[in-house]
Amino acid sequence: MRHFKAVLFFTFLAIPSLVIYGQEVDQEEMMKAWQEFMTPGPMHELLASRVGEWTAEITMWMDPSQPPTVSQGSSVIEPIMGGRYFQAVHNATMMDMPFEGIEWIGYDKARQSFFSIWIDNMGTGVMYLEGKYDEDTKTFTFAGTITDPMGNDYRVREIVKHIDDDSTFFEMYMEQYGNEFKSLEINYTRKK
């Protein structure tokens, strides 16, 4: 009974705020803004140019003082939800184990920012990055944080440079204890 009364109480608190919100915002204006927000635009077309199948040459540094490991992989990028977002499925072998990662990439028109959401089979967490695109250099720069298995948060920076329609160069940098180091480098080539 207490739970029901609490829900009822908070519902009644919410109704006046909805009425006030409805009075302050022109509904026609809101619908027009929502239509614009949900319609893919030029930044989504830019992301769509990467749709396809790719081979990946992967160089990874687990410890910046040690030599990197090199492996091969593949990626498939496809549009989802009408081209509003893009899903990239990555497969490789890392540390002698099968590796699978999934990335959802998009452009948030309201925030005017690109984003990347990453999950993989090497953990149970998620990495969220936001970024911008530089038209002159054809380069995306993303930044965010990642949490390691010990619960420590680290800054992450990614640079994605589109060399041409069939080549992309990816770099990932991590900051640990105040020092940034390159942890990953991938050369992507479009499959013919």
Global pTM exceeds 0.85: no
CB neighbour list of residue 158: distance below 8 Å, 6 or more residues apart: 116, 129, 131, 140, 141, 142, 143, 170, 171, 172, 173
Q: Name the residue ranges covered by the structural domains of the chain.
A: 2-38, 42-190
Q: Please state, rounded to an integer, the average pLDDT across all residues of the chain.
A: 89
For the domain 42-190, what is the CATH superfamily, name and number? Calycin beta-barrel core domain (2.40.128.20)
The 10s digit of each residue's pLDDT in 16-46 is 555 445 556 688 899 998 999 999 999 999 9
Q: Is the CB of residue 43 less than 8 Å from the CB of residue 114?
A: yes
Q: Rounded distance, CA 109 to CA 134, Å?
A: 16
The 10s digit of each residue's pLDDT in 108-117 is 999 999 999 9
Residue 134, pLDDT above cutoff 90 = yes
What pLDDT, on the 0 to 100 scale, is given for residue 180? 94
